[in-house]
Every structure is written in C-alpha cells, then in structure tokens.
Amino acid sequence: MRVKNIVAVGSLLLLSIAMTCAIFYVTKSYNKQSRLIENELKFNANYVSSWIQTAFYHSNNVLHELSDSLTEENFASLSFNEAYDEDYGELFEIHYQTLMNAIHVFAVDKDCVLLNTKTIGGVDLSSREYCQKLKKSDQEINSVITTPFKDILNRNVISQSVTVNDKYGNFAGIVGIITDFSFFSKALRSVNLTNISSISVLSSDFTVLASTVPKFLPIGKKLNFEYIPKKEIKGLKYNQEFMFESHEKYDGSYQGVYVKKVSDLPFIILVTKAKSHWVTPLYIAISTVFALLVLFAIFLVKNAYYFGKLSSEAEHYSKLALFDDLTGSCNRRCFEAKVLSFIQNYHAKNQTFSVALFDIDYFKQINDTYGHEIGDEVLRLFSRACENICESDDHFARLGGDEFVMLLSNKNRDEAEAILNELLRSIRNIEIRINGQLVQLTSSIGVSEMHDDVFDACKLLSRADEALYEAKRLGRNQVFISE
C-alpha cells in the first residue's frame, strides 16, 4: 500500500509538473502569437499608409506644377472658351496622364465657377465649399483634400485641390483632381494582403473608401460602429495609431483591430485579424502528457512554418515597395534612391552620367482603342526593350503611367544619344497583332547630362522633361538632348 501511495504521489507530481510546463508553454505561445499578430497588423497598416501617402504626395506635386504653369500662362485672364480648349486642354491632359489616382483633372476660376477642361467629363464642382475655403485662406492654406461626396453622376468621390495665383500673388482659382473609390480598392488589391488580414481605408468622417471585406464594411457607407465602437477611434490625431479587440464577432471570431491615422492626409487605415483562443489545445494538454508532447511538437512545427511564411511575405512586401508590379522595373521610390547616389558620386568622384525621360507615343489612344489589357502588355514589352539595353551600372524605372526614366552611368550626352537612338529602333520593332490589326510602338525621349550646378534630382529631371517636351513638339519618335 505504501509503495502504491508513493507511485501514486510520484505520478501525480510528474503529471502536475508536466501540466504546469504544458500550461506555461501554451500561455507563452499564445502571448507570442498575439505579439506576432500585432506586429503583422502594424506592418500592413504602415505599408498601406505609405502607399496612399506616396500617391497623394505625387498628385499634390503634379497639381502644384500645373498651378505654376497656369500662373505663368496668366490663368486669371483665361476664360477657357473654345479658343482655349485645345491648347490648355492638352496641358491638363498631360498632367492627368501622370496621376495614378485621378479620374478627372479640373480648374475653377476665382469666382469658384468650373471651367471647361479636357478631362472634366461633365463633373460639376462649382458649389463645393472647399473652393471658398481656399479663396478665403489668405494663402495660409494652399491645398485641401475633401471628405467623400457624390458628384452629379452619383459616384462617391473625393477631391484634392491646390490654389492658382495671378502674377501678383492673388487668388485666381484652383486646380484639382477627382478620385473615386476604385483607386483605394486597387491599392488594397496591389498589396495582396487579403489572405492574412482584412484591410480597410476610411475617410476622416469614417466613410469606408475601400475594404477587402466589403460585405461587412460596405464601400461608401459609414463604419459599422457595432463592430468597432466609435469611442475607440474618435479623435485620431496626426500619425496616431493603436490596437484593441473588436466588441462583436466577425466570421465567428473576435478580431484584433489596428488603427492608424495617415500622416498629413484625412484617411484612416483599419486592419483586422482573428484572435486565436487556444482553449482546446489547453484541455488536450491537461488530459495526457503524451498528447501534450504531440501538441507541443505540432505547435513548434506550426510556428516554424509561420515564421517561414512571414519571412517570405516580408520579402515580397519589400519588393513591392521598390518595384513596379506590372513591369517588374524599379518604381519611383527606387529611382529616387538611385539618382541621389549618382548625384553624390558625380560631385565626389566626377563620375558623369545622363538621365533620359521616356513617354510612349499615343499610349492613351492605344489604351482607349484596344483596352487596358493591351495597354498593360505594351508597358511590359516597352520596359523589357529598355531593360535589355541597360548595362550593369545603368538603372531603368517606371515613374507612373507611360512615363519611364533611365540613368545612363558614365555616359555623356553624345554617348547617351547614340545608345537611345539604337533603343528607338528596337522599340519600333515591337509589334502586337490584335484581331488582324498591327500595333507598332514609338517613343519620345528627352535627355539631360549631369552638370556641376545640379545638386538634386528635381533640377536634373526638369531639364530632361523640357527636352522630352521638345521631342514631342518636333514630331515625337525621336531623342532630344537638353543643352
């Protein structure tokens, strides 16, 4: 009897130790999983926030460039009647082509009356309050992004606008763009995160602009405050972010919710993921030491798989941040880092280089005639042809739309011109057959060589852009070298 008692007590003691270790491990693993989920949600929110910031900062820069151009053209005296439509409509169209998030570009005069521009498409904005806001700001505010509203076509849209001044610095009107919710939906699809998280983009008034779960968070509607209480996200300030759990279940689970206010923009990123409650594994662990060991092994394998998957996804997201997902070429962010390095090497080591800006001739006409799938194929073939002539130290990037740029290392203007003329011949050899019709490509190229008076990319690109404009003006399908 005494031996039996010793065995029984020993067994209970071993079982208690095993149960304690099992509970400690499961608890520790649960906390670790929670931290991983929080880090994952934070990463996704920051990534989407950066994507949207990049798009709207770019469009703000383009609008300011358009504003400056209109100021130089004495915008305050223009009526945009039929005599001006063709010339100034083309100016608006050129800027429109560089904007990834615009469905229309428009202009409003100093009386807040909408002017006739090529891309406006019948949208009436003359009664919008933000025009009066910019007009009365005394230049303290020169740009604005509106909350969502419906245009006369009953589309849910937002507007981004900047002021235009006359030559005396007085308010002369505004120029702006219209963005519909499809831009935000494309942004979410492009980051390809829907398999692991739900992501939504909200306006500052909690209107859902885009969501990977539109059935639960309908686009164009206010946020479901039963799922996410308004008190949790009300009053978000500059770049503020925090995490909490949902009050209601979605798809059978409570959700970990991560909210971030986008810096300098009236948008909120909301990311969610189901919180795992490991009650069943805990009960199995208490039942038997052997079952606990098996479960521990399963948890370890699962964690190893999860870390491998997380590492692979992080690498994928890093690539998305620097490369264009359509063509595979460097994107604008990648190019800006490269050109800065080139400029520094020039001033430090006198290592010369040239920069070339490309536009595909009549690309919009190809898109409108044959559809976006053919347009995408044109962009891919064009990028491939340009990448093929790049040497190991050269860099080719897509800035947006059909606008591309190339850095030609150790090449002066004459050497760059010879290389790019050879490239033009390769581009003219690109052929796409569509229903028996033959589509051939040409390109206009502006080239600028690095000089001692250049210390940033803006001035260098401005010279190349002026050369590109001249190439187009002289009939396209040619290379023009900046002086």
Q: Check pLDDT > 50 for residue 321.
A: yes
CATH 3.30.70.270 placement within the chain: 332-481
Percentage of residues in the chain with pLDDT exceeding 70? 70
Read off the pLDDT of each residue in 308-335 and give the average, rounded to a whole number. 70
Q: Which CATH superfamily is 24-277 part of?
A: PAS domain (3.30.450.20)
List, in order, residues 6 or more apart from 214 with CB less than 8 Å away: 208
Asked whether the beta carbons of 415 and 347 are under 8 A apart, the reply is no
Q: Check pLDDT > 60 for residue 189.
A: yes
List, in order, residues 6 or more apart from 205 with CB less than 8 Å away: 147, 148, 222
Q: Which residues pair with 139 in a beta bridge?
A: none
Q: Check pLDDT > 60 for residue 370.
A: yes
The HSE-up count of residue 32 (CA atoms within 13 Å, CB side) is 13
Tell whether pTM > 0.85. Answer: no
Q: Is residue 258 packed enough to be buried (19+ CB in 10 Å), middle (13-18) or exposed (0-12)?
A: buried
Question: pLDDT (tens digit, 9 = 90+) per residue, 451-465?
Answer: 888 888 888 889 899
Q: Could you give the residue ranges of the DSSP H alpha helices within 323-360?
A: 332-349
- What pLDDT is attached to residue 269? 87
Chain-centre distance for alpha carbon 342: 25
Say whether 266 sits in a helix, a strand or coil. coil
Question: pLDDT (tens digit, 9 = 90+) per residue, 379-437?
Answer: 999 999 998 988 888 889 998 888 899 999 999 988 999 999 999 999 998 888 887 78
Q: What angle do CA 269, 273, 277 make, to 5 degrees?
A: 150
Q: Check pLDDT > 60 for residue 277.
A: no
CATH 3.30.450.20 placement within the chain: 24-277
Q: Check pLDDT > 70 for residue 11.
A: no
Q: Check pLDDT > 50 for residue 282.
A: no
Q: What angle do CA 357, 482, 337 make, to 5 degrees?
A: 45
Q: Check pLDDT > 90 for residue 355.
A: yes
pLDDT band at 357 (very low <50, low <70, confident <90, very high): very high
- What pLDDT is attached to residue 118? 52
If phi > 0 it is left, if psi is from -120 to 50 it is alpha, else beta; for residue 227 that is alpha
Beta-strand runs (E) in 275-413: 353-360, 395-400, 403-409
Task: Tell which wins on pLDDT, 245 or 121.
Answer: 245
Q: Tokens standing for 152?
A: 């006369």
Question: pLDDT (tens digit, 9 = 90+) per residue, 87-137?
Answer: 555 666 666 666 777 788 888 877 777 776 555 554 555 445 667 767 776
Task: Tell which wins on pLDDT, 422 or 149.
Answer: 422
List, in order, residues 6 or more apart from 345 with CB less than 8 Å away: 351
**332-481: CATH number:** 3.30.70.270
Question: pLDDT (tens digit, 9 = 90+) per residue, 293-317?
Answer: 555 556 545 655 555 565 565 555 5
